[in-house]
Structure 1
Amino acid sequence: MNELSLLDSLFGNDGFTFPSVRNAYMTPKVDVLQKKDSYVLCMDLPGKTENDVEITLKNDVLTIASAEKTKEEKKDDNADREIWLVRERTAATTQFRRTFTLPKDINPSKVTANFKNGVLCIEIGRKEEAQEQKIKIIAA
């Protein structure tokens, strides 16, 4: 099993149903890198800003979510009304929620996030590994 579990890859929000094709298509893709001292998670979020995204970390579970509502299309009864012929970029709600169960060696006090050119990168520090300790036996 991979050290980083992607909980939402196969299941919908209720944990039992498969997500719709639309939701699967709109789920941002993620790259995860394990370094000696940290984990780095990068997610492409074109068209979003740092104000559109919420990141939470609780009990070794990292959640990245966005619920951005865009402007409603104006309805016009005129004969010269614009009509979409092809519409692959959504105009209604662009929302997502990704949840990741992190390994037990994370250090929750060492988490940083930056957003640049539509890419969100989160770096999560790792705890130092416990070293073997020799215990001196005292004669009674």
Structure 2
Amino acid sequence: MTLVKFNSAKPTGNALLPGFNDVFESIFNDTFFSDRLVTRVPAVNISESENNYHVELAAPGLKKEDFKLNLERNQLSISVEQSADHEDNQKNYSKREYSYSSFVRSFTLPESADDSRIDASYTDGVLRIDIAKREEAKAVRRQIEIK
């Protein structure tokens, strides 16, 4: 038997069949479906400054030792392989969304990236990777005199 939650405070979309929309909403918002629909990889922000490309990967609850960064043929791969904690196996979660046991994110570096100058740090749940640009790829700025 499955218990279906109804929200009586929310107006129903169908006056003839009250609660009809709530049934479908509860089914598709159930963790059985949503956990399988949501991709289990951390979110990434990629930005660019004058001298560097920046990659920020949000992965709370990990240690810097959990990450492996590999570079092969202009392909930067960020991976985590983590064994399940014995302490976490004893907890009875009602919902668990930020559990990353393993994942791989790969990015192709642009030709303007200097793959010999890549720095990475992990603080406050965010992995930050700075990829230097080649000297010839940096934007040239100069003041142009108007005659």
TM-score (norm 2): 0.60
Q: Percent identity?
A: 26
Partner of 1:53: 67
Higher strand share: 1
Unaligned runs of 5+ in 2: 1-34, 138-147
Q: CA deviation at 1:85?
A: 6.3
Query: Given the alignment, which residue of 8, 29, 34 partners 2:43?
Result: 29
Instruction: State the distance in 1 between where 2:37 and 2:81 align.
Output: 13
CA distance in 1, matches of 2:121, 2:93: 37
Q: Between Structure 1 and Structure 2, how many residues are aligned?
A: 102
Q: CA deviation at 1:94?
A: 1.1
Which structure has the larger Rg? 2
Equivalent position to 1:128, from 128, 135, 146: 135
> 5+ residue gaps in structure 1?
1-20, 75-81, 131-140
Secondary structure at the residue paired with 2:82? Answer: strand
The aligned counterpart of 1:86 is 94
Aligned-partner Cα distance in 2 for 1:50–1:28: 15
Normalized per residue, the structure richer in helix is 2
Is 1:44 the counterpart of 2:51? The answer is no
Q: 1:55 to 1:105 in 2, by over 3 A?
A: same
Say what the alpha-carbon RMSD is for the aligned residues. 2.5
In 2: Cα distance, 1:62 partner to 1:89 partner:
26
